Amino acid sequence: MKTNKPHKIANIFLHIVGFALCVLPPIVCTLFYFPLWSESAKALSGGVLLLALVSAIPVFKLLKKHFESPASYTVWLFLFIIFFALSKIAAEMTVISFVGFIGNALGALMFRMARRKTENE
């Protein structure tokens, strides 16, 4: 039986790109808007930790395949809508959640492409 190595490499590449698009843009955007360390308490900022956890949802889903929750891009879209409604007091959160939504939507597209390649093998 002949294995199709180029398709496996493409599938792995699509998964890596998908995870990078899902996780890195919202984390980087969060770090641009909020300092990682709180100046007053000399401790990690709770807001940054919370957003980092939300950004890492795709990683949690990878580690636990049957994680019963909405898709990560749905969470980011929901956050974007909430923060857009509250944009007068949370303009930075609007940008962060929108970047997270776009990154996760593109990552989901990569995962879908990888799944189709796997199904066609």
Is the per-residue pLDDT at 46 higher than 60? yes
Is the per-residue pLDDT at 112 higher than 60? yes
Provide the percentage of residues in the chain whose pLDDT is more than 90: 5
Query: In the prediction, which pLDDT does 67 show?
Result: 46
Which of 80, 78, 83, 72 has the alpha carbon at shortest distance from 108?
A: 72
- Does the pTM exceed 0.75? no
HSE of 111, CA atoms in CB hemisphere, 13 A: 18
Q: Give the DSSP letter of residue 37.
A: B
